A and B are shown apart, each in its own frame.
Chain A
Amino acid sequence: MKNVKNADYYQIDNRIPEICQLKGIEVLSAKLAWEKYNWTKKYFLKKPKHGYFIWVKKQPQLPIFTCITIANKNIKQELQNLLVVEKNLKIKIQGTCNALKRNLAGVHQAKGKIILKQGSTLQYRHIHSWGEKDIVEPNYEFFLEKKAKLDYSYKVFSPPKKLKMKTLITLLEGSSANLNIVGKFSQTKTEFEETLILKEKGASGIIKLRLAGNKNSEITAYSKVVAQSESKGHLDCQGLLMNKDSKISLIPELICKNKKAQITHEASIGKISEEALNYLRMRGLKEKEAINLIINGFLEN
Chain B
Amino acid sequence: MLLEIKNLKVLGNGKEILKGINLNIKKGETQALLGPNASGKSTLAQIILGNPKYKITEGRIFFNKKNITKLSSEKRVKLGIALAWQNPPAIKGVKLSQLLEEISAFKGSISTFFKFQKIGFQLINREVNVDLSGGERKMSELLQVLSLKPKLVVFDEIDSGLDFKKIKEVSEIIKKELLAKDISILLITHSGEILKFLKPNITNVMVAGKIICKEKDYKKVLKTIKKYGYEKCKKCRLLSNR
- A293 and B51 contact, CB distance less than 8 A: no
* In the assembled complex, B88 has its CB within 8 A of some CB on chain A: yes
Give CA–CA (A282, B85) in the complex, Å.
Answer: 10
Note all chain A residues with C-beta closer than 8 A to B148. Answer: 283-284
Give CA–CA (A294, B127) in the complex, Å.
Answer: 12
- A296 and B94 contact, CB distance less than 8 A: yes
* In the assembled complex, A17 has its CB within 8 A of some CB on chain B: no
- B91 and A294 contact, CB distance less than 8 A: yes
Chain B interface main SS type: mixed
* In the assembled complex, A280 has its CB within 8 A of some CB on chain B: yes
- B89 and A279 contact, CB distance less than 8 A: yes
* In the assembled complex, B52 has its CB within 8 A of some CB on chain A: yes
The stretch of B22-30, B70-78, B224-232 in contact with A is: B70-78
- B93 and A299 contact, CB distance less than 8 A: yes
- Residues of B86-107 whose CB lies within 8 A of A: 88-94, 98-99, 102-103
Give CA–CA (A80, B74) in the complex, Å.
Answer: 51
Chain B: residues with Cβ within 8 Å of the partner, total of 27
- Digit string of A274-290 for contact with B (CB within 8 Å is 1, else 0)? 11101111111111010
Closest chain A residue to B72, Cβ basis: A281
- B93 and A284 contact, CB distance less than 8 A: no
Give CA–CA (A286, B73) in the complex, Å.
Answer: 9
- A285 and B74 contact, CB distance less than 8 A: yes
Partner of A284, one of B78, B89, B90: B78
Give CA–CA (A187, B91) in the complex, Å.
Answer: 26
- B88 and A298 contact, CB distance less than 8 A: no
Chain A interface main SS type: helix
Give CA–CA (A294, B130) in the complex, Å.
Answer: 13
- B73 and A281 contact, CB distance less than 8 A: yes
* In the assembled complex, A301 has its CB within 8 A of some CB on chain B: yes
* In the assembled complex, B3 has its CB within 8 A of some CB on chain A: no
Note all chain A residues with C-beta closer than 8 A to B88. Answer: 279
* In the assembled complex, A38 has its CB within 8 A of some CB on chain B: no
A261 to chain B, nearest CB (A): 30
With A289-B102, A293-B99, A293-B102 already in contact, the answer to whether A282 and B93 are too (CB < 8 A) is: no
- A282 and B99 contact, CB distance less than 8 A: no
A28 to chain B, nearest CB (A): 40
A2 to chain B, nearest CB (A): 27
* In the assembled complex, A273 has its CB within 8 A of some CB on chain B: yes
- B51 and A284 contact, CB distance less than 8 A: no
Which residues of B line the A interface, CB within 8 A?
49-53, 72-74, 77-78, 82-83, 85, 88-94, 98-99, 102-103, 127, 144, 148
